Structure 1
Amino acid sequence: MGRLLKILLITLFAIIVLLAIAVFVITQVIDPNEFKPEIEKQAQEQANLTLDIQGDLAWQFWPSLGVSLGRTEARIADDEELFAALDEASVSVAVLPLLYGQVEMDGITLAGLDVNLVDGPDGANWEQIGPQTPSEDTAVEEEPVAEEGSSSLDIPLTIPQVVVSDGKVRYRNTADGTDIVVEHFNLNAQDVNLDEPFPLQMSLRYQDQSDMRVDMNLDTVLAADIDNNHFVLNPMTLDANIAGATTMPVDVHLEQNLDVNLNEDTVSIKDLLLQAAGTETKGNMDITALTGDMQLSGKLATAPFDANKVLEAIGEAPIETTDSQALSKIALDATLGGEPGSVMASPLTLTLDDSTLSGSAGLASLESGKIIFDLVLDKITLDGYMPPAGGDSETAAAGGGKTGGTASLSSDELIPVETLRPLLVDGKLAIGTVKYDSITASDMKFAVTAQNGVLQLTRATGSTLGGSFSAKAKLDASGSTPKISASNTVSSVQIQPLVQMALEDDLAKGVFDMTGSYSASGNSEKALMNSAKGTIDLSLADTTVRGLNLYSTLVGGVNDMLGQFQGLATALIPSQESGKLPSALSEDTKILDLKSRARLDKNVAYLDSLSAVLQKGEITGNGWMNILNQDFDLKIGMQSPELGTSKYLTGTTWPLRCEGNLGGNPAKWCGPDKDGFKDIGKQVAANATKDKLKEKFGIDGEGDTTEEVLKDAAQKKAKEEVNKQLQDGLKKLFN
């Protein structure tokens, strides 16, 4: 027995020595570089690749058995442009396990990999890889399937280390200009085992033709079930620096547990944490039918953040607001769901400072990109979100009459038609209350749609200032020239806060109703204004215009007229010993009822008709107003019962002229039409002369002026005595 044991030990030792000698001979005597020509030949025949193995092929014996490859370049067929290259590659197995019939990988390294992918109208360069001539049909003998446990060597299950360093892949598309480079690619995986999770680290830089650059570092534990296409990264940490999308580079930190099952077409994201530019989002998400009618479920929550701090982090200027605390508390809470093929957030809650927007929103169809939403905003006060006072305004300067302000209109493209045409939208928005300046609007409801390049505001209603409003609008961008149309109705709305806000002056108070319709076409400020058309019906009730008293204007004109026609005052206003009408004590005009119709033509609103009942009279008129520079010119006819006590003035319409700018002093807007008043004075004097001649002398004088009446009366009385008496009497007539 001892002899047998000794023989066995000697035999085993001999085998080990022989195996060691064989390995030594293979690694030290056989030169692998002798195989270069054959390797290059097979690459040419089997892959259509021209290999240039510049570096050495080398064996390694201890402590690992392996082979390494030096600098190698590959070109497709006879192309001069490099398709792929690597600086170094090696693979090795542990020596000692081989002595026991086991294969244990020691490591795989790949350094300096460089791949150039080119695509274009004629196809991609990688499509040329492979045999270029059909091979003869040969019978393929099926290799016998090894029975379980029949192999003399165990299949390696674990690779202690896989290292890829300084890799680079470039993709170019000559048709559309795409140029993407992934470089500085590094991968380090330890204890790689397809049956057990293993740690993996990866880093790379992505850059494209738009100067977008992403530096990324990944640290995870990967479980890879290759047979079932199931991959789990748990935990997973990704840090990236993104430049080119914003003014300043942005650091992004992502943590999650990622489960991807390609066979089941699912993705699961758990314990998500996303931090970027001062924001933090957490949540969980499950995706099914990833490559089909995708369906999402889960929750996302973004913690409150300050919008201006986010802008600062990405290098953008802050949003300047009247309230320094505006935009300082923005948060999001969304539950993801929806039918297959859609992505919906319902319920969705967005917090903006003291306001809350809630409801649902999302993509009704991932295929069509249709956006739908049904949201409710509880309240918002806009004053704090307005720019601080003192900023430059771009309103047109006053002056220039009807054509003023048009020079400032831009010819630049205004409407992004290419962006609007593919839009599919169906949305609703309700707002509880909106406050701005001294105006509060409530119960506001809006509805919008977009399809085939036509955007419509199908509803805009609400209550404000004691009344209500409604409006509709349409933008048709489907054709070569955008067309805009709109209509609105305002009922029983207090006018004072609106005038105060628009003109920064307490100019008027009262209640107004308005209906209007408008249209324009073009794609610039100038084109839209040059094509603008519209009609407006406006009515006022119980209104006071401050700083403008039309009756005082009328009285002033009448008194000036009386001063030009001596003797008329007694005949016209016998109750006034001064010979003048007293001025009104009030500086305002009280309008009991007013109705007007105007039409819009380009930048001018033409007042075609105006009729109003005042506290001291009635007015009619017409005129125009430039909506750009607010210049206006109105011709008004006024009748006043205060001047109707004289039969010569009953029914007289006194011409007034109101012109200027809405930004000017109302007291200087209106004045009497001096020529019109003078004509009235001549006619009144002629009528009074007729009556006096008839009354004192029984003579019927004819004429439009006093002179014509006197001349006609003299001709009718040929007798000299009568003429003398007539002349003497007339001299005393108005003295």
Structure 2
Amino acid sequence: MRVLKWIGLALGGLLLLILLAVLVIRFLIDPNDFKGQISALVKDASGYELGLEGDLGWSFYPVLGFESSNVTLAAQLNKPFLTIQNLAIGIQVMPLFSGQLNVDQLQVDGVDVQLLVDAGGSNNWTVESASTVTAKAKEQEQTASSSAGAATEPAAELPEISIPLVRILNANVRYQDQQAKSDTSVAIKRLELRNVQLQEPVEILLELALAQADGPSVDLVLNGAVQPDLEKQIFKVAPLQAQATIHNALAKPLAVNLDSQVLVDLGADRAELSVTQLKLADAVVSGAISVAALTAEPRFEGNLSSKPISLPRLMSVLALELPEPSNPDVMKTASFQLAFNGDTQQLKVPSLLMQLDQSKVNGTLAVNDFSTQAISFDLALDQINVDDYLPKPAEETTSSPAAGAGTQTNEESALIPVEALRPLNLNGRFKAGQVTLEQTLIENMVLAVTARDGVLTVKELKADLLEGSLDGQLSLDARTDTPTMTSDIKVNGIELTQISSRFMTDSLLSGKASFAMDANAKGNTVDELLKSALGQMNLKLDDGVLHGINLNAIVVDALKSQLATVEYLYPNYQEKLPRQLREDTEISKLLADAKVENGHLIMPNFEFFTGDSGIDASGKIDLLNQGFDYDFGVVLSALERNKYLKGTRWPIRCQGALASSPADWCGPDTKAMGAILKKAAGNALKDKSAAELGEKIGLEAEDQAELKDEVKQKLEAEEDRAKKKLQEKLNKWLSK
């Protein structure tokens, strides 16, 4: 019990001493004695005006030390940009009795910072230049020395301090730029600096919220340790960890984590950032960046790389829904590696490797001039099947005509984004080993493109496709709202089957085609371009087949129906004109010159051969309405032995829409064919009459021409005999 009594007395005595110490601090030591020192120290060190408008007093909670309820900081007189509602400085008690100030804790609560850039570009936080401050200081010193009796004692300097804890709570920072019309706010929930001194690492904890007016916001938590070396002017932050949550940018919040370290060497004027891990969902990026000439003209270089990224997981985290690809096995993984360097004027990526699933792209990329946005690139793709990545075709649904009423519009949307093309400044080259597009394999693709001042030029376009090749140049002038396109394209030996099948269910035309086209067009819709298109084209087709249409059979069927009335014209025509079993027209060789004009592809006259028959044709294709109108003249080889019909051109007309059935396109011109047969039959009858007349007069003639020849020959013979008799009589008379 006696021990407890002594312990109680000791505790009571200790409590009494603490109360006496508090009374001494409260009534004998006035914190306002340090007020002028603090303001002068800030003014001399930075040029800022520190206002301690409230009296400095003692605080006993939450810290023991000084406190002030109204603190301001201004770069311009009476225009503070920083206001602190409560400032508390925790100090060690005992050193105060010996005149020493040892700060134990600094706590700031209720900070309001208003940073403003006006319409003229001036801001409210920049102090006057050092030369101006020095001149004013000298002027003030001269004024003070010349004033009698105005001498004052210099303020005592505050001793160097080491602060175990600096805490800032409930701070709001707002940045308004009237020139850029931007408004950004930062709410600092908590900022803690532990062990604040210049010899040991300073631990940092920062929690803040960043918001952009009418834009996304960011919640940020930052942890790190600053290791200063003042003698070498080296500052290292290691580790530096950050966790950020981004709101209102996507459908749901986005979390980003960073593990890194920073090194700033002011002596060498350089800085380094090493990113151990930057993580977004399952996407992990690492790399390093170094900056030289940090305070002069910064130059930087570095590298970044990623581990394989799960695209479905990333899309889920980003709350993005992409159309379901045609192939469910694609859009699974992606990765990249790159090295870069640059300065304030340019950025270059001399080594770039990107991979999407099994496709790889490598090459170089550069922004050669930030001011002109000059971009150059040289990229190579190994292979890709674009069809796999196209959206899966939607299932067709039936709807009533009324359901679609009012949804159609006669106005076409702009085909070419001229506003986006005009600022482009490009010079690049792209190569691809294999590209599959709409089930067409394109190999050895080369695309060289330039763009400047609204003119985009494809100066080299090459590819192997459809068993042939493509070579050409294109140009697009987008300097006006009505762009102009020019093209010079050469295609050699391509197979037409896949091309014609694009427009109809069954392939219409097959064979090896070559053509050269030089054309230009003006407009910004498909209709405008087709209507204004003007150019020339040379076409060649070898070993072609016109599927679903047999021009010979159309003529034969029409002839058979009409020859029945004039069978004498072509006896046994049923046997000599058998209908071909094949439903196609073979084209052994076709040569044609065409022109593009007023929305039509016009082919004035061209010829081709199908078997032993020759066909000539002329016509045009309506490019706007996907229709056509052609006249064909078929010469049947089966009629070569018929003297009345051989070499006859039998007319066929083909017209309709490409989307309709080929079986409905072509038909014979029965009226013209009837006229041809009528004329031939008339000639046959005349020949028959001539033969009968010749028989009566003893001449063997099968037709009019032979009869005329026979008659002529007979008359000439009779004339010769008459002349001979007359000569004989004359000779006999003269001999007497």
SS at structure 1 position matched to 2:556: helix
Equivalent position amino acid for 2:585 in 1: T
Answer whether contact 2:72 2:82 (CA < 8 A) is retained.
yes
Return the match for 2:139 from 137, 140, 153.
137
TM-fit CA distance, 1:461: 0.9
User: 1:691 is matched with which residue?
Assistant: 687
Any conservation in 2 of the 1:562–1:580 contact (CA below 8 Å)?
no
Inter-partner Cα distance in structure 1 for 2:307 and 2:48: 56
Q: Distance in 2 between matches of 1:520 and 1:244?
A: 45
The answer for the alignment partner of 2:533 in structure 1 is 532
Q: Which residue of 2 aligns with 1:119?
A: 117
Gaps of 5+ in 2: 1-16, 146-154, 402-407, 696-736
Does residue 70 of structure 1 match 2:72?
no
Per the alignment, residue 236 of structure 2 pairs with 232
Q: Greater CA deviation, 56-65 or 316-325?
A: 56-65
Q: 1:374 aligns with which of 373, 378, 392?
A: 378
* TM-score, normalised relative to structure 2: 0.78
Distance in 2 (alpha carbons) for counterparts of 1:618 and 1:269 = 78
Q: How does 1:60-209 map to 2 (within 5 A)?
A: 60=59, 66-71=65-70, 84-99=82-97, 102-124=100-122, 126=124, 137-139=139-141, 155-209=159-213
Whether contact under 8 Å (2:76, 2:124) holds in the other structure is no
Residue 554 of structure 1 corresponds to which residue in structure 2?
555
> Cα distance 1:489–1:586, how it changes in 2: closer, same or farther (>3 A)?
same
CA gap of 1:639–1:140, structure 2 versus 1, over 3 A, is farther
* 2:392 counterpart letter in structure 1: P
SS in 1 for 2:307: strand
The answer (yes or no) to whether the contact 1:305–1:331 under 8 Å persists in 2 is: yes
Pair 1:112–1:683, CA change in 2 (3 A): farther
| Preserved CA contact (<8 Å) 1:179 1:208 | yes
1:580 is displaced (CA, Å) by 7.9
Give the superposition deviation at 1:329.
1.8
More divergent stretch after superposition (679-688 vs 310-319): 679-688
Contact in 1 for aligned 2:63/2:89 (Cα 8 Å): no
Greater CA deviation, 27-36 or 96-105? Answer: 27-36
Q: 2:571 aligns with which of 564, 571, 574?
A: 574
* Contact persistence 1:162–1:189 (CA under 8 A): yes
Q: Deviations over 1:610-634 (max 9, x none)?
A: 3212214222223232335532222
Task: State how far apart, in whole Å, the 2-side matches of 1:498 and 1:413 are.
Answer: 26
Contact 1:483 1:522 in 2 (8 A): yes
Contact between 1:27 and 1:61, CA under 8 Å: does it hold in 2? no
Change (3 A) 1:526 1:540: closer
- Provide the C-alpha distance between the structure 2 equivalents of 1:113 and 1:63, rounded to a whole number of angstroms: 17
Relative to structure 2, which stretch is displaced further, 164-173 or 61-70? 61-70
Q: CA deviation at 1:293?
A: 5.6
Whole-Å Cα distance in 2 between the matches of residues 183 and 427 of structure 1? 45
Match of 2:468 in 1: 467
TM (norm. structure 1) is 0.78
Tell me how far 1:337 sits from its aligned partner.
4.3
Tell whether 2:424 aligns with 1:423.
Answer: yes
Residues 136 and 523 (structure 1), Cα distance of their counterparts in 2 relative to 1, 3 Å cut: farther
Gap change, CA 1:229 and 1:183, over 3 Å in 2: farther
The aligned counterpart of 1:386 is 390
1:236-315 aligned at under 5 Å gives the runs: 236-261=240-265, 264-290=268-294, 294-315=298-319
Tell me, in whole angstroms, the C-alpha distance in 2 between the residues paired with 1:650 and 1:63.
119
Which segment is superposed worse, 508-517 or 641-650? 641-650
Give, in angstroms, the shift of residue 551 of structure 1: 0.6
Aligned equivalent of 2:335 = 331
Partner SS state of residue 551, structure 1: helix
Q: Is 2:225 the counterpart of 1:221?
A: yes
Per the alignment, residue 586 of structure 1 pairs with 582
Deviation at 1:433, TM superposition (A): 2.0
Deviation at 1:161, TM superposition (A): 0.9
Go from structure 1 to structure 2 and tell me whether the alpha carbon gap of 1:527 and 1:72 turns closer, same or farther (over 3 Å shift): farther
Q: Name the CA distance, whole Å, in 2 between partners of 1:300 and 1:136.
A: 53
Secondary structure class of the residue paired with 1:642: helix
Q: Deviations over 1:322-370 (max 9, x none)?
A: 1111111211122334799543333322112122212222333445433
RMSD between superposed Cα atoms in Å: 4.2
Provide structure 1 residue ranges, at least 5 long, that are not aligned to the other structure. Answer: 1-16, 144-150, 398-406, 700-735
Residue 178 of structure 1: CA displacement? 1.1
Aligned to 1:727: none
SS of 2:675's partner is helix
Count of residue pairs brought into register by the alignment: 651
Q: Report the Cα offset of residue 140 of structure 1.
A: 5.4
Query: Are the counterparts in 2 of residues 449 and 458 from structure 1 also a CA contact under 8 Å?
Result: yes
Structure-2 separation of matches of 1:620 and 1:561: 23
In 2, the alpha carbon distance for the partners of 1:266 and 1:77 equals 33
Tell me by how many angstroms 1:221 deviates.
0.8
Out of 626, 642, 648, the residue aligned to residue 646 of structure 1 is 642
643-652 or 352-361, which deviates more: 643-652
Letter in structure 2 aligned against 1:653 = R
Q: Quick one: which of 639, 660, 663 aligns to 1:664?
A: 660
Contact kept? 1:471, 1:487, Cα under 8 Å: yes
**Distance change >3 Å, CA 377–CA 50, structure 1 → 2:** closer
Matched, 1:345 2:346: no
8 Å CA contact 2:546, 2:586 repeated in 1: yes
For 2:156 and 2:469, the matched residues in 1 are separated by 91
Give the match for residue 724 of structure 1: none
**CA deviation map 1:483-504 (0-9, x unaligned):** 2222321111222233345534
State the Cα distance separating 1:466 from its structure 2 match.
2.8
Structure 1 residues 300 and 368, CA, compared in 2 at 3 Å: closer, same or farther?
same
How high is the sequence identity, in percent, across the aligned residues? 26
Name the aligned partner's letter for residue 248 of structure 1.
K
* Amino acid paired to 1:382: V
Distance 1:123 1:428, change over 3 A: closer
Give 1:279 shift.
1.3
Report if the CA contact (8 A) 1:293-1:341 is conserved: no
Residues 580-605 of structure 1: per-residue CA shift (max 9 Å, x gap): 83211111111011123333345433
Tell me, in whole angstroms, the C-alpha distance in 2 between the residues paired with 1:78 and 1:269.
39
Tell me which amino acid in the other structure corresponds to 1:574.
Answer: P
Moved more, 361-370 or 589-598: 361-370
Question: Separation in 1 of the partners of 2:57 and 2:385?
Answer: 77
CA deviation string 1:3-24 (max 9, x = no partner):
xxxxxxxxxxxxxx9xx99994
Larger radius of gyration: 2
